[in-house]
Amino acid sequence: ATKPKLYYFRGRGRMESIRWLLAAAGVEFEEEFIETAEQYEKLQKDGRLLFGQVPMIEIDGMVLTQTRAILSYLAAKYDLYGKDLKETVRINMYADGTLDLMLMIALAAFKPPAEKEESLALVAQKAQTRYFPVFEKILKDHGQDFLVGNKFSWADIQLLEAILMVEELNASVLSDFRLLQAFKTRISNIPTIKKFLQPGSQRQPPPDSHYVEVVRSILHF
């Protein structure tokens, strides 16, 4: 079978969570990195970007856009989306929360230097005061190895991704969260994720000035 193919810039942005989900599910995927306006305009002209936007993924004979729609499709396809609707809605709640947090970080890369530092500090603080306490309590109340049911799901994958991203901003961010520290170790040791965390995987590095310049020049913003 043909591998899923991802179309996005060479960076994290909105596509990184899709890379994580595919990798955690053990699914090999290909990428076309959009480096020029011509590439982007050709995708648009060919009518492959529904609202003229990326991320876009080709999978199962479909051309999909809209990050959350793609993530939901992949979670369901790879049985990472709960055993019933009540579990699925919790996974959606947790995934939406971690996506909100990660998009704040991703967007901060596009702010002017002074503002960028301040907004990243704010995000790290929000992670510590709003998001991580919620997940620490969920792990405590739920008393299981995973956030939902007692099965590995999309919610676990995305929480680990968010933890690592916030730790890049502030290495001691988990110091008050004992259960999250254990969660991070447990989920990082899942073989498919352990492999994705090794150097040389398809994981993208934090945004740098080159990435910001490429995205700005292509999207004219």
Question: Using CB under 6 A as the criterion, which residues of the chain lie in contact with ligand HAG when the complex forms?
Answer: 13-14, 52-55, 66-68, 103, 106-107, 215, 219
**Residue-wise burial string across 64-96, b where 16 or more C-beta atoms lie within 10 A, e elsewhere:** bbebeebbbbbbeebebbbeeeebbebbbebbe
The C-alpha atoms of residue 207 and residue 116 are separated, in whole angstroms, by 12
Q: How far is the CB of 180 from ligand HAG (least distance, A)?
A: 24
56 bridge partner residues: 7, 65
Q: Which residues does 74 contact at the CB level (< 8 Å), separation at least 6?
A: 18, 21, 22, 25, 59, 80, 154
Question: Any idea what DSSP says for residue 73?
Answer: H
* Runs of H (alpha helix) within 151-190: 154-169, 178-188
Q: How far is the CB of 221 from ligand HAG (least distance, A)?
A: 7
Closer to ligand HAG by Cβ: residue 53 or 192: 53
Residue 192 tokens, joined = 């498919």
Q: How far is the CB of 211 from ligand HAG (least distance, A)?
A: 8
Q: How far is the CB of 52 from ligand HAG (least distance, A)?
A: 5
Q: How far is the CB of 163 from ligand HAG (least distance, A)?
A: 18
Closer to ligand HAG by Cβ: residue 31 or 145: 31
**Residue-wise burial string across 25-58, b where 16 or more C-beta atoms lie within 10 A, e elsewhere:** beeebebeebeeeeebeebeeeeebeeeebbbbb
Which residue in 207, 7, 1 sits closest to 116, CA to CA?
Answer: 207
Closer to ligand HAG by Cβ: residue 29 or 146: 29
Residue 84 is which amino acid?
Answer: D
Q: How far is the CB of 65 from ligand HAG (least distance, A)?
A: 6
Contact assessment for residue 75 and residue 21, using Cβ atoms and an 8 Å cutoff: yes
